[in-house]
Structure 1
């Protein structure tokens, strides 16, 4: 998987920004909120944040989360 363009998805009536992260861009470990397991460096994944948050863009970006691609697909309701 390579890095792709940010897109917007709607989940449970909320809009989310979804940004793919390539293997080469994945240089840190993150905890996936979907499964609770670590996303290791070098593993392609997704970064998501609210696109319709009431506190504004800065707050939405500050609360972004890194997800395994599979966990996001089956993920947040």
Structure 2
């Protein structure tokens, strides 16, 4: 049998997490830094309320998850306060 040259995942290898974190970016709005992470339609499985328009972000809708990147209470508090936005609502905010 021929040898495979593909890299095999090692135990504890979080390559998927690294791939997903590559999508994250930091944006500055209203004088504050925000972490923006896209969520694909396939990943969107719950209903959320968009803070931009007040309407539901329904399952199966691609959207953005936004949280403060420079909050004074620490990373854990910022991540706990994240919100799900329609992409268009975040763009016009």
Quick check: TM above 0.5? Answer: yes
More strand by percentage: 1
2:11 corresponds to which residue? none
1:72 corresponds to which residue? 90
Which whole-Å CA distance do the structure 2 matches of 1:7 and 1:74 have between them? 17
SS of the equivalent of 1:66 reads: strand
Cα-to-partner distance string for 1:18-58 (whole Å, 9 max, x where unaligned): 00000000000000000000000000000000000000000
2:58 corresponds to which residue? 40
More helix by percentage: 2
- The CA RMSD over aligned residues, in Å, is 1.2
1:28 corresponds to which residue? 46
Say whether residues 1:11 and 2:29 are aligned partners: yes
2:10 corresponds to which residue? none
Which whole-Å CA distance do the structure 2 matches of 1:12 and 1:42 have between them? 30
CA drift at 1:73: 0.2
CA drift at 1:10: 0.1
Larger C-alpha radius of gyration, 1 or 2? 2
Ranges in structure 2 where 5+ consecutive residues have no aligned partner: 1-19
Which whole-Å CA distance do the structure 2 matches of 1:45 and 1:26 have between them? 8
Ranges in structure 1 where 5+ consecutive residues have no aligned partner: none
